Structure 1
């Protein structure tokens, strides 16, 4: 099962944000130290808190690490073609622009959900109110359309059921008439099988002889 990526965003609560910063900072410093010791790597880590307080770690001289980093960047850029450098720069600008748009969309979504409205002006609140009203009208129109479609389907089902009932009644009537016809035929046959008596001779001495049709 593939899990979707969780969208990270800025923590709004100041206290929670500060607690999270302290925990993540300490964890990051610890990982940097472990990496330098276990792997014999040259590590330099610089962190500025939201209040511009500096936290840093370096496995050797921080100044030397920074100079080495700058030299590496210059050497790397000197080896790359100018076109590739421009492409990378454009890609960075596009990425930064997309990140800013995402942040603006997230902020707008939170405001529409009724969160973080403290910094909104009266015009912005009125604009959001009109936007929500338009959205509600669209939702209501769609809901009525769904209702009408469901009613039409129910009407069609009623018609189908009525047709089936008529067909069942016709079958029952036809079956009843056939049963009556069979009953009359059976009764006639039974009457024809009844014995009749034939009398022969004078009344004083006549004898009965059975006779069947």
Structure 2
């Protein structure tokens, strides 16, 4: 039959309490000794009986172990204090950042034309000046982008012209003539005496234009 858990409570009978104390005291002192030997642990155990009698065990020295414990507690307190200060600083920083974010959101809404009902003339003038500066920057950036695109198109045009010239050269075809050469050719055609084969008069006696009649 499985035994239930024994409920721990104060033993009311003095004799039984004293006997139990002696047995448990011996057991816990033995366990402390075994822990120090088997695990090479620094152990200090202090027990006061109900009558106020002291029982102690130490793997080195109770005083030295207690001093070590006090130093450890000091370090723990320092670390805890430092953690609390860091946590408090983080909370303050978070609150400050939240305020800045809220101010930025309000300014953004005003730039979008929202929430202007309570703005003074000075605030409205500042918003107008800020918008004008922003618009000037946007226009300057747009012109810069346009110039870059035009430069890229010019470079592309040069590349295509060079490719066309290479193709003309490979095919043995003369490329497009310069405008001055074209004009000179048109002028030579207009003023040269070209025999057009035009005859004036009846079929029997027609003569070429520009020749004297016989």
TM over 0.5: no
**TM-score under structure 1 normalisation?**
0.43
Query: What is the TM-score with the length of structure 2 in the denominator?
Result: 0.42
